[in-house]
Structure formats: C-alpha cells, structure tokens
Amino acid sequence: MNHKYGYDKETVKQKLGNENYNPFLKWMHGKTVGIHPETNETIFYDWDVARFKEGLEKKVLENDKI
C-alpha cells in the first residue's frame, strides 16, 4: 500500500527487490519512519527509499567500472 508520504513493506520490496530489503532495513536503522494511522504499519518515507535505491544504482555502476 502506498501512503501519501511513503511505502509499506511490500511496496518497498517491489521497488528495491526482495534481496535488497534486509540491507535497506539495516541502512534505515536509527532513521525516522512513519506509522500508518489506521493500520499501525511502518511507512518508509519515499525519499529514504529513493536515496537507498540511488545508492544501489551507484554501487552497481562503480562495480561495472572495475
């Protein structure tokens, strides 16, 4: 489910890939997340997901140069 500020767990997995979800959670440790007011689900802010995805893409590009 999308929320106006971000994404739930399943949407993050779709955007980043299942294999990147646990590294994302580790990266998110200590960062602020939202809580959906009706379901109490964690909402990961869209800018955090985008920043992590950008880092993944840069890492892949850097590895391609090696």
Q: Mind listing the pLDDT tens digit for each residue in 4-19?
A: 779 999 999 999 999 9
DSSP characters for the chain? -EETTEE-HHHHHHHH-GGGHHHHHHHHTTS--EE-TTT--EEEEHHHHHHHHHHHHHHHHHHHH-
pLDDT at 59: 82
- Give the phi and the psi of residue 23 in degrees, each rounded to 5: -60, -35
Share of the chain above pLDDT 90, in %: 70
Indicate if the pLDDT at residue 27 is higher than 70. yes
